[in-house]
């Protein structure tokens, strides 16, 4: 039996399938670079996820021809894996697109609405017994319907958020995408990030993480936002200059932020946690029972295909 390392507990039905086909080792904590290097030499296949450090250094340490032939990543984002280094070492990398698009877009809308309508703040008030009753000026937030929605990165998830905004909330949609992109619903592509930041009432970030987009939303981009603007990040923490965002929120230069991702997860800076004008979620984008099971299934199916000599359908390198 081939040896498979699954780096976190996944949905039971998928785990059972894996156990029927492979000699499975189940880990429960993120793998360091050294752990990754060791695992590459010890297993035929690995099912890793966010937090496992498959850097170029891990592959270098594992040597030229590691035992492992495939990393069937659990997740669409794989910026924790150096896919080019993997390819150079003969390791295939796959991901889990499509199955998490709706769940992640839903979290985008959850954050957009919760931040605009001060839901986090209101909930904290009620739970703390601080609510003094209904009042015409209590808990006033920002109206959502009809406001302009700006999407950074019009990929699958960006389009799903845009559709929700357009069809559900009558929002005019603008988007910034590095390549020319046409979509099948009303939306206007803007020339540059500045125009997106300046033109939108709500900015939702959906670009992939990794070096290409590191600190894409920097101090200048944040400065271009409207003072009543709200930033939502459902992509990766590294895409935003977190320190600059905290400063903008503290100074009230933008109205609020809804964040599902952070620069150094699971660390969330205390200054961010102290702010009332942001809603903070613990990376819940794909976290529904159905979606997480579908992701696990897709990751395992890729590994099965590879070990049976078929091309893994979601290969990215």
What distance in Å separates the CA atoms of residue 65 and residue 90, rounded to the nearest whole number?
Answer: 7
Query: Which of 118, 164, 283, 292 is flagged as catalytic?
Result: 283
Among 6, 31, 39, 76, binds ligand DGY (CB under 6 A): 76
Q: Angle formed by the axes of helices 289-307 and 12-21, to 10°?
A: 10
What distance in Å separates the CA atoms of residue 204 and residue 153, rounded to the nearest whole number?
Answer: 9
Does the protein bind ligand DGY through residue 258 (CB under 6 A)?
no
Residue window 17-56: x/- pattern of binding to ligand DGY, with contact defined by CB under 6 A = ---------------------------------x------
Among 77, 108, 158, 312, binds ligand DGY (CB under 6 A): 77
Among 242, 308, 282, which Cα is nearest to 111's?
282
**C-alpha pair distances (Å), 206 with each of 156, 215, 259:** 9, 13, 12
Query: Which of 118, 236, 238, 242 is flagged as catalytic?
Result: 236
| Closer Cβ to ligand DGY, 148 or 314, answer by number | 314
Token readout for 151 is 């999407």
Determine contact, residues 37/316, Cβ cutoff 8 Å.
Answer: no
CB of 236 vs ligand DGY, minimal distance in Å:
7
Does the protein bind ligand DGY through residue 286 (CB under 6 A)?
yes
Using CB under 6 A, count the residues that bind ligand DGY: 7
Q: Which stretch binds ligand DGY (CB under 6 A): 70-78, 174-182, 216-224, 272-280?
A: 70-78
What contacts 134, CB < 8 A, 6 or more positions away? none
Secondary structure (3-state) at 186: coil
Query: Quick check: is 265 catalytic?
Result: yes
Q: Which stretch binds ligand DGY (CB under 6 A): 63-71, 74-82, 159-167, 224-232?
A: 74-82
What contacts 130, CB < 8 A, 6 or more positions away? none
Q: In what order do the strands lie in the sheet with 202-205?
A: 188-189, 173-176, 149-152, 202-205, 230-233, 256-259, 278-280
Query: Quick check: is 267 catalytic?
Result: no
Among 285, 303, 305, 306, binds ligand DGY (CB under 6 A): 285
CB of 265 vs ligand DGY, minimal distance in Å:
10
Among 274, 193, 282, which Cα is nearest to 241's?
193
Q: Which stretch binds ligand DGY (CB under 6 A): 54-62, 73-81, 137-145, 215-223?
A: 73-81
What distance in Å separates the CA atoms of residue 304 and residue 70, rounded to the nearest whole number?
Answer: 10
Residue window 194-223: x/- pattern of binding to ligand DGY, with contact defined by CB under 6 A = ------------------------------
Determine contact, residues 257/278, Cβ cutoff 8 Å.
Answer: yes
Does the protein bind ligand DGY through residue 100 (CB under 6 A)?
yes
CB of 121 vs ligand DGY, minimal distance in Å:
26
Among 100, 120, 101, which Cα is nearest to 110's?
120
CB of 135 vs ligand DGY, minimal distance in Å:
39
Among 31, 30, 22, which Cα is nearest to 4's?
22
Binding site for ligand DGY (CB under 6 A): 50, 75-77, 100, 285-286
Catalytic residue numbers?
A: 236, 265, 283
């Amino acid at each position: 039996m081939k040896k498979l390392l699954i780096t976190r507990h996944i949905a039971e039905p998928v785990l059972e399938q894996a156990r029927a086909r492979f000699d499975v080792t189940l880990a429960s904590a993120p793998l360091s670079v050294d752990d990754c290097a060791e695992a590459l030499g010890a297993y035929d296949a690995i099912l890793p996820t966010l937090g496992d450090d498959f850097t170029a250094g891990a592959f270098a340490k594992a040597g030229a021809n590691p035992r492992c032939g495939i990393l069937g990543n659990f997740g669409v984002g794989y910026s924790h894996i150096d896919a080019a280094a993997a390819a150079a070492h003969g390791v295939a990398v796959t991901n889990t697109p499509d199955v998490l698009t709706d769940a992640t877009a839903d979290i985008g809308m959850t954050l957009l609405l919760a931040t605009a309508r001060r839901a986090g703040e209101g909930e904290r008030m009620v739970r703390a017994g601080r609510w003094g009753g209904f009042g015409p000026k209590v808990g006033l937030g920002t109206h959502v319907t009809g406001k302009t929605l700006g999407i950074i990165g019009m990929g699958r998830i960006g389009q799903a958020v845009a559709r929700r905004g357009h069809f559900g909330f009558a929002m005019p949609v603008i988007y910034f995408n590095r390549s020319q992109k046409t979509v099948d619903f009303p939306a206007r592509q803007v020339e540059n990030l500045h125009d997106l930041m300046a033109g939108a009432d709500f900015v939702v970030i959906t670009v992939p993480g990794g070096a290409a987009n590191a600190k894409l939303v920097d101090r200048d981009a944040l400065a271009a936002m409207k003072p009543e603007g709200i930033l939502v990040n459902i992509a990766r923490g590294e895409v935003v200059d977190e320190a600059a965002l905290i400063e903008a929120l503290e100074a009230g230069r933008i109205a609020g932020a809804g964040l599902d991702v952070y620069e150094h997860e699971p660390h969330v800076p205390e200054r961010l946690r102290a702010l009332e004008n942001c809603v903070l979620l613990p990376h819940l984008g794909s976290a529904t029972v159905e979606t997480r099971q579908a992701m696990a299934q897709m990751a395992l199916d890729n590994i099965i295909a590879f070990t049976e000599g078929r091309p893994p359908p979601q290969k990215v390198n």
